[in-house]
Amino acid sequence: MKLVLAFLCCLMAAFVSNTVAVAEELPGTWHAQFETFAGVQTYHFQFDLKDGSAKASAVVEMNDEKREVMFTDVKVDSNMLTFVEQRKLQDREIRIDYSCKLTDDGLSVSRKVGDFGTVETKAFRKLPDAPPATPPAPAVEVRIDHLIKDVFQNEFLIGMAGDVPARYSETELAAATKHFNAVTPENCMKPERVHSAEDRWQFETSDALVEWAQANRMSIHGHTLVWHSQTPQWFFDNADRAVATQRMKDHIHTLVGRYKGKLQSWDVVNEAINDGGNDETAKTEGLRNSPWLQAMGPEYLTLAFRFAHEADPDATLYYNDYNIESGPKHASSMVLLKRLLSEGAPVHAVGIQGHWRTGSVPFDDIDKAISDYASLGLKVSITELDVTIRGASGGQFGGGQRAGRNQSPASAEDLARQAEDYAKLFAIFRKHKDAIERVTFWGLHDRRTWRFGQHPLILDANSQPKPAYAAIVNDK
């Protein structure tokens, strides 16, 4: 008993010591820099811990702009300080969670931005050097003989993803129209963005995208109508099968109908198949236990395609998913597609998302998967292409795949390996040019990407071609 009491006393002493250390060492001003989609942001944190309460605020600088932040939910736990920043970006409320821990060489700060991933940095008492006006120059000089959209103009479309033109610079918009002839809205047509409540539609951003794309003679691919993620809960509240079906129908008819004749294609159902799997699940459709499946059963996919076809009979309709080029998930996709076609669902094409990683791209599987889908009479697109230099890939939304990004520049060796993989991929796509409709990069350049920090695209953060671009187009 005495040993137990002694152990508890030691634990309590350590806790009190850590809490005292935080109270003594943390208050005051700390400076930290974060790489973000928009550029480098410098946070000047101010912490105030006294009288049993904790407060946190910051002045944030980026380029010539400043904003003040008063953080909420400020908590001290042992030697950890946590707090929350609420921001509104593109009509969406974003929660940013911070955790700060004292270390021997400064303050470790973790910044988790909604579902978009976590970045870690160090904060110091000393004001950091001002960030460079532009990102570092590419590690190697790149020469391109042709524009990628021109190289493949007789074979398939070359696209980019983004909610253009909102919040894009003139330089970025010029790069988009220079290199690409197709565009996919990255977020603005997803259910939570465009239809946040049953009686509320928000078309401003999507209307602007359609107008911009038409003015620049770019093909438009709609993304996405039915998905288990980024879909408001109101679709399923107090909904039996009939109510859920009617809500789906109204949503699809309204959205697809609004852009009838303006959009060439749609991702109708997105990511309906479970991850992983085995030999047994490979014999089945392996459907994800999504709210749509719970509310309507497996027929929800068939109905979604029928509703989309009713709204725009001329649009090409896609089933879209990640990792469906390999293993049990590919087998399940074939089972699912055969069932949909047998039921008369107007499925016209399959979207292989294409979130891969340098050094582990499944080239043989991709080659075979395209052939398999074409054998069903379906067209194929690579809908969300990126090849990361570091970190895991996949397509899981909001998963751990995006955490802990490495922000260091890509080396010449990194870029060369990435270029080799991109060249091999486009050789496969060209081989299947009769089946491939479109290859879309998921983002515009290495700063405008959900895999920021992993250098996944063919344009660098300055919208300049990388070795991967040259490997695809030169001497073609």
Are 430 and 309 contained in the same domain?
A: yes
Model confidence over 265-299: pLDDT tens digits?
A: 999 999 999 998 899 999 999 999 999 999 999 99
Pairing of strands 349-352, 72-77: unpaired
Q: What does the pLDDT read at residue 90?
A: 46
Q: What is the pTM of this model?
A: 0.75
Map tokens 């253009």 to a residue.
164
Residue 360 tokens, joined: 């582990």
Of 445, 451, 282, nearest to 355 (Cα)? 451
Is 235 a member of any domain? Answer: yes
Range in 14-23, 27-36, 154-163, 226-235 the model is least confident about: 14-23
- What's the CATH code of the domain at 31? 2.40.128
Could you say which of 90, 123, 156 is where a domain stops? 123
Q: Crossing angle of helices 363-375/412-431, nearest 10°?
A: 20
Is 385 a member of any domain? Answer: yes
Torsion, Cα 83 88 92 98, to 10 degrees, reads: -20
Range in 150-159, 294-303, 394-403, 405-414 the model is least confident about: 394-403
Q: What does the pLDDT read at residue 137?
A: 52
Domain residues for the domain of 384 are 148-473
Are 181 and 34 contained in the same domain?
A: no
Number of alpha carbons in the 13 Å side-chain half-sphere of residue 372: 20
Range in 46-60, 90-104, 252-266, 402-416 the model is least confident about: 402-416
Range in 144-158, 241-255, 399-413 the model is least confident about: 399-413
Are 355 and 219 contained in the same domain?
A: yes
Are 115 and 161 contained in the same domain?
A: no
With a pLDDT cut of 70, the percent of the chain lying above it is 85
Could you say which of 123, 156, 182 is where a domain stops? 123
Per the structure, the count of domains in the chain is 2
Residue 148 and residue 179 in contact, taking contact as beta carbons nearer than 8 Å: yes
Does residue 347 register a pLDDT over 90? yes
- Residues of 102-111 as b/e, b for ≥16 C-beta within 10 angstroms? beeeebbbbb
The residue type at 407: Q
Does residue 31 register a pLDDT over 60? yes
Does residue 64 register a pLDDT over 80? no
Q: What share of the chain is helix, strand, coil (3-state, %, to 5)?
A: 35, 30, 40
Starting at the earlier edge strand, list the strands of the sheet with 65-70: 28-36, 39-50, 53-62, 65-70
Are 117 and 152 contained in the same domain?
A: no
Are 253 and 309 contained in the same domain?
A: yes
CB atoms within 10 A of CB 277: 19
Rounded mean pLDDT of 54-65? 84
Q: What does the pLDDT read at residue 80?
A: 84
Q: DSSP assignment, residue 139? A: S
- Measure the CA–CA gap between 387 and 378, rounded to whole angstroms: 25
Phi then psi for residue 331, to 5 deg, are -60, -45
Does residue 14 register a pLDDT over 60? no
- What's the CATH code of the domain at 322? 3.20.20.80
Residue 342 tokens, joined: 């047998």
Residue 239 and residue 293 in contact, taking contact as beta carbons nearer than 8 Å: no
Angle, vertex CA 339, rays to CA 343 and CA 367, nearest 5: 130
DSSP string, 4-37: HHHHHHHHHHHHHHHHHHHHHHS-EEEEEEEEET
- Measure the CA–CA gap between 200 and 196, rounded to whole angstroms: 6
Burial of 333 per CB tally in 10 Å (0-12, 13-18, 19+): buried
Are 193 and 293 contained in the same domain?
A: yes
Helix (H, G, I), strand (E, B) or coil at 231: coil
Burial of 332 per CB tally in 10 Å (0-12, 13-18, 19+): buried
Are 227 and 113 contained in the same domain?
A: no
Does residue 173 register a pLDDT over 80? yes
Q: What does the pLDDT read at residue 132?
A: 55
Rounded mean pLDDT of 417-421? 97
Are 320 and 225 contained in the same domain?
A: yes
Burial of 148 per CB tally in 10 Å (0-12, 13-18, 19+): buried
Rounded mean pLDDT of 365-373? 98
Q: How many helices (H) and strands (E) does the chain have?
A: 12, 18
Is 11 a member of any domain? Answer: no
Does residue 21 register a pLDDT over 90? no
- Residues of 286-304 as b/e, b for ≥16 C-beta within 10 angstroms? bbeebbbbebbeeebbbbb
Is 139 a member of any domain? Answer: no
Residue 297 tokens, joined: 């059963």
Are 109 and 209 contained in the same domain?
A: no
Is 437 a member of any domain? Answer: yes
* Better pLDDT: 393 or 433: 433
Angle, vertex CA 397, rays to CA 223 and CA 195, nearest 5: 45
Rounded mean pLDDT of 453-462? 93
Q: What does the pLDDT read at residue 354?
A: 97
The residue type at 42: T
Is 133 a member of any domain? Answer: no
Q: How confident is the model at residue 61 (pLDDT cuts 50, 70, 90)?
A: confident
Is 467 a member of any domain? Answer: yes
Are 162 and 113 contained in the same domain?
A: no
Are 153 and 73 contained in the same domain?
A: no
With a pLDDT cut of 90, the percent of the chain lying above it is 69
* Better pLDDT: 93 or 81: 81
Is 142 a member of any domain? Answer: no
Q: How confident is the model at residue 135 (pLDDT cuts 50, 70, 90)?
A: low
- Residues with a catalytic annotation lie at 271, 384
Of 61, 66, 42, nearest to 128 (Cα)? 42
Of 382, 404, 415, 414, nearest to 453 (Cα)? 404
Q: How confident is the model at residue 3 (pLDDT cuts 50, 70, 90)?
A: very low
Does residue 253 register a pLDDT over 90? yes
Rounded mean pLDDT of 107-123? 81
Does residue 238 register a pLDDT over 50? yes
Could you say which of 89, 123, 157 is where a domain stops? 123
- Measure the CA–CA gap between 398 and 136, rounded to whole angstroms: 29
Separation in Å, CA 251 to CA 13, 191, 225, 232, 296: 59, 8, 8, 12, 15
As a residue count, the chain comes to 476
